[in-house]
Chain A
Amino acid sequence: MVIGLETHVELSTKTKIFCPCSTQFGGEPNTHVCPVCTGQPGSLPVLNGKVVEYAVKAGVALGCRINLVSKMDRKHYVYPDLPKAYQISQYDEPLCEKGRVTLSNGREIGITRIHIEEDAGKLVHEGEDVFIDYNRGGVPLIEIVTEPDFRSPEEAVEYLEKLQSVMRTAGVSDCRMQEGSLRCDVNVSLRLPGEDFGTRAEIKNLNSFTSVLSALRYEYERQSALLDKGERVVQETRHWNADLGETMNMRGKENADDYRYFPEPDITPIVLSEEDVARWSRELPEMPDVRKKRYIEELGLPEDDASLLVKYLPVAEYFEKASEGVSPKTVDAFLITQMFSVITTEKERENWAPKTSAEQLNELTRLLESGKISRNVAKKTLARMLETGQSALSFLSPEDLEGFDSAKLPEICRAVIEANEKSAADFRGGKEKALKALVGAVMRETKGRADAIEAEKTLRELL
C-alpha cells in the first residue's frame, strides 16, 4: 500500500491572509468580511507578514529548506464559495520544500513542499436554500504535501498526530479537526512488492483521524478486490462517506481540472533574508521529537512517559517548571500516574490547566524529597490539591511534616512483629501474604509516614 498526504492546516494568525478581517472561528455569518475577502471589484490583497512567518516556522519545524524568494499564483476554479473565482496560492515556487518527519518505527516520511494559500468560504444548506458564509474566506492555510512514503493507514495517522503536535508546539496552528483547522486529502494506490506505483485514487477532505484510518482501510479493500479480479483502479477523486463507511466517486469531476495557474500580479514576490529565517527559527520552542529524546537520554524518563509529556507543549512546559531543582523522575511519576488519570481528555490535555500549578507541584516534590513527607502522604496530598487547587501545606498537619526518622523503623517493626505473632508465624511458615498485614500495621503505627517499601524490607530482614 502506497499513501501520500496533502494536509491543509489553518494558521492561527489573528487576521486573514490578505485583509485585516478576524480569523475567529464561529462568528455570525458574513460578519468577518470586507471588500477584499468577498472579492469586490477593484479590491486588492495585501499579504499578511505573520502568515509568512508562521509558514516559515512550520517549515523549519518540519526540517524544510526555506526558499528566500517565492511568489503567489492564482489558481482558478468556479464555485460560489470562492468569490474571485480564483484562489491565491503558490504553484511552482512554494515557501518551503524538502522536509521530513520520522515515525516511531524509524521510517522517514519526506515532506515535498509547504505553501501558503487562502481558504474559501462555506456553503450553508438550509432546506431548499443555499447560503454562503465568507467568514472563512481568506483565512490563511498552509498545504503540507508529503512524498508517497506511507505504507499503512496507521503510519498515515501517526504522521498526522505528529504533525498536529509539531504545529501546536510551533505555535502556528491549533489544528482542531472538529473546527476544520486541519483537513486532509489522501492519495492511495496498491502494488506488489518491488513493482512500480499503481494507479492512485484521491480521497478528499477527510476531517478526523478516524476517517483517515477508515477511508484508507476501505480503499485498501476496494482496490485489492479490483486488482485481485484482474480489473484496474481508475484514477479519480473520491469522497469518504462516514455514515456508509465507504468511499465513493465524486460526481461531476470527470474532466481533468485545469486551474490555469499564473503569477498573481497584485502581490509582489515574497523576499526573505537569511536573518528573518534565523530569527524565526530561534523563536521556535524545542520540537516534540527533540524534547522527547532529551527527556529519555538526559532525564532518564521512560519512553512512554516522555511521549505523553511532549505531545502538548503546555504539558511539557508545566513538567519542566515543576521539575526545577527537584528530580524530574518524581515529577514525571506524579504527572503520569496521578494527574493524567484525572485529566483524561485530549482537549483538557491540549489546554493544560490543572488546578494545581507547576509551583505547587514543585513544592510538594520538595517536601517529599527532603523526607518531610512520605510518598504515601504525598500521593494523598496531591489528590486533594488537584481537587481544590490549594497548596500542599494546607493539607499537611504539623505531625505530617515532622517527617519520619527512618532510624526508628527497625524498632517499630520489632514491636509490630511482637504484637502480631500470628502473622509473623504465618509468614515464617511460607505465607507470603502475611507480610502485607505486617506492613499495614507498620504504616498504621507511623500514620502512613513510613516508606512502605522500606518497611517491607526491614520486616523481611527481621523475620
Chain B
Amino acid sequence: MIRIADVTRLLSEKKLSCRELTEKYLAEAKKTNDAINAYITLTDEEALRAATKVDAKIARGEKLSPIEGVPFVLKDNISTRGIRTTCASRMLEHYEPVYDAEVWRALRDKGAVMLGKGNMDEFAMGSTCEHSYFGGAKNPHDLNRVAGGSSGGSAAAVAGGIAVYGIGSDTGGSIREPAAFCGIVGLKPTYGAVSRRGLIAFASSLDQIGPLASCTEDAALVFDAICGKDPMDMTSRGAEPVSDRLTPDVRGLKLGIAPEFFENLSDGVREAVERAIETYRALGAEIVDVSFPTLPYSLPAYYILACAEASSNLGRYDGIRYGHCAESFADLDDMICKTRTEGFGAEVRRRILLGTYVLSAGYFDAYYKSAQRLRRDVTADFEDVFTKCDALVTPTAPMTALRAKQHASPVEAYHTDICTVPVNIAGVPAVSLPCGADGDGMPVGLQLIGRRFDERTILSLSLAFERATEGRYLVSAGMGVTEL
C-alpha cells in the first residue's frame, strides 16, 4: 500500500507533480467507487485547488510538511464549508455547512488534499456502514462483505487504494472496527486530544476524531497534524505530537491480557490475536494477566449513554433552519414530525427513541444514572489495569468483516462493538492494527489500549509489531492506485 512518506518523497523529488498525483487518485476513485462506494461526494475542485498550491510551493523549492500534498478522504460527518456534509443521511443530503470543522481547517492549512467525503453509517450509528442513506461501503478485500462502521467509507477508500489516508470519527469503535475489517491501522485518540468542533455530534462525551492509515507511521503523522487544543472546544486538551517519538523497541513493556475480551471470538480472530501476543512476547514484552470485570456491562452502559446524547444532539433537525423539510404538513408539530420521520433512517430513529426513553422522567435513574455509575466503574477498571501493565491487548472485534445484511437483529449488531466501547467510555486511546487473516482471508484487527494521552506507547507497540512481521499483514486489496 502507498504510504505518506512515499508520496512526500515523490513530490519532493519532483518525480510527480501534486496535480498529477491528485488527478490520478480522482480518476481511480471515480472508477473504483462504483465497486466499493467509499465516497459520498468527490471534491475534485477542492482537491485540485490544494494540489496547485502544493505544486507552487515545490516550485519555490520549499520543503513540504509531512502530510502536505497527500490525498485523503474526510468522513462525511466533519463539516466542510460550502461542501455538502451529509452524515450519510437524507436529513442532510443537500446540507452545506457555513463553517469549517477545526480538523478540516488544520489539515487544509497544512496543505492536505481532500479527495472527497467518506461514506459512513447514518450519523455514525452502526458498525457495518450499511445504515448509509447512500448505500453501504463495500469491503475492498471481499465486495460481498461490509467495510465496517461507522467510518466504513474512509476505511474502504484507504484499503481500496483511492485515498492515502482517511479521517474518521469513533464513538464506540467507528474508526477501529472498519480499520480491522479492512486490514488497515485506525487510531481512536484520547478524548480531548483532537478538537470536535465541526464534527456533527452523535454522542458528545464519546466522539473523537482520528486517523485511518495504511501503516502505523502514517497514523502517527496524521494524528500529529490534527491533535491540538482548540479554545473553541471546551473538552479539548490537545496532545503532544508522537511521530518522532515512536520506537519499535518494546522490551520491558508490560502488556495486559484480560480474559473477558477473549470470549465468543471467531476462531480466526482468536488464533491471529494469540499469535500476535506471542510475537510481542518474542520481542521482549512482558505479558501479564489482568482482569476487566466490567466488560459485560460496557455494552449496555454505552448504548444508554450514546443513545441519550444522540437523542439530544439530533433534536435540532426540525426542517426549519437547514436540512430536509417535509413538503406538506398540517401544522408546526406535524411538520417537525414528518421531517424527522422522512429524514432519519430506521437505526437513527431507533436510537433517538431509546435515548429519549432512558432520559424520561421515571426512567432516568434506572437507566441513565446507572449507566453513569457503570461509566465510572469501567474507567476504574482501566485505572486498575494500567497499574499492572502499560497497554491492554485485545481483539478489535470478535469477528472479521461480516457479509452484507448478516445481522439478524440490532442487538446482535451492537455486540460487534463489545471490545471497542469500553475505550470510549473511559476516554482512553486505542489503536487497531492488522495482525493476520482468518480462514476466508479476511483481515483480523488487534487492539492496543493505552493510558490517557499515551498514544506514544500504543503506536510504538503497533510499529514494533509491523516491523517484526515485516509488514506482511498490511496487504493491498489490489485495487485503486497500487503504485506511483
Contacts and interface: CB of A to CB of B under 8 A. Distances in A.
B308 interface: yes
User: What is the interface residue range for chain A against chain B?
Assistant: 20 to 34
Nearest to A252: B333
Contact of A40 (B99, B196, B332): B99
Interface in A217-273: 256, 258, 260-262, 265-268
B361 A43 contact: no
Interface in B221-257: 231-235
B361 A258 contact: yes
A266 B360 contact: no
Contacts of A256: 361
A169 interface: no
A36 to B, nearest CB: 9
Given A40-B98, A42-B79, A85 B315 contact: yes
A78 B316 CA distance: 9
A87 to B, nearest CB: 11
Interface core residue of A35, A44, A256, A261 (most chain B CB under 10 Å): A44
Nearest to B204: A265
A174 B361 CA distance: 37
Interface in A36-85: 38-47, 74, 76, 78, 80, 83-85
Interface stretch (B134-142, B291-299, B317-325, B439-447): B317-325
Contacts of B201: 41-42
A74 B204 CA distance: 12
Given A39-B321, A40-B97, A268-B235, A262 B198 contact: no
Contact of A42 (B101, B203, B356): B101
Contacts of A44: 196-197, 232-234
A86 interface: yes
B368 A262 contact: yes
B205 interface: yes
A41 B95 contact: yes
B54 interface: no
Contacts of B101: 42
Given A43-B197, A46-B232, A84-B315, A266 B99 contact: no
Interface core residue of A35, A265, A268 (most chain B CB under 10 Å): A265
Nearest to B231: A46
B114 interface: no
B316 A80 contact: no
A85 B201 CA distance: 14
B interface majority secondary structure: loop
A396 interface: no
Contact of A260 (B92, B97, B336, B360): B360
B74 to A, nearest CB: 13
Contact of A83 (B308, B316, B356): B316
B318 A85 contact: yes
A262 B315 CA distance: 14
A261 B258 CA distance: 36
A333 interface: no
A143 B259 CA distance: 52
Interface in B188-235: 196-201, 203-205, 231-235
Contacts of A268: 234-235
Contacts of B455: none
Interface in B256-304: none
A132 interface: yes
Contact of B359 (A80, A260, A266): A260
Interface string A9-51: 0000000000000000000000000010011111111110000
Contacts of B235: 265-266, 268
B205 A265 contact: yes
A267 B234 contact: yes
A76 B315 contact: yes
Interface in B111-164: none
B309 interface: yes
A251 to B, nearest CB: 13
B320 A40 contact: no
B205 A41 contact: no
Contacts of A46: 231-234
B312 interface: yes
Contact of B197 (A42, A47, A258): A42
A80 B95 contact: no
A267 B196 CA distance: 12
A42 B312 contact: no
B102 to A, nearest CB: 9
A249 B335 CA distance: 25
B320 A80 contact: yes
Contact of A266 (B204, B322, B336): B204
Contact of A132 (B92, B320, B361): B320
A86 B315 contact: yes
Nearest to A258: B361
Nearest to A257: B361
Contacts of B77: 42
Contacts of A35: 98-99
B316 A85 contact: yes
Nearest to B205: A265
B63 to A, nearest CB: 33
25 contacts: A35-B98, A40-B322, A41-B85, A41-B92, A41-B95, A41-B200, A42-B79, A42-B196, A42-B197, A42-B199, A43-B198, A44-B196, A44-B233, A46-B234, A78-B315, A80-B320, A83-B321, A85-B315, A85-B316, A85-B318, A86-B315, A258-B360, A258-B361, A265-B205, A265-B309
5 closest Cβ contacts across the A-B interface? A85-B315, A265-B205, A260-B359, A265-B204, A41-B200
Given A80-B320, A262-B359, 11 more contacts: A41-B79, A42-B196, A42-B197, A46-B234, A76-B315, A76-B359, A84-B316, A86-B312, A260-B356, A260-B364, A266-B234
Interface of B: 77-79, 85, 87, 92, 95, 97-99, 101, 196-201, 203-205, 231-235, 308-309, 311-312, 315-316, 318, 320-322, 332, 336, 356, 359-361, 364, 368
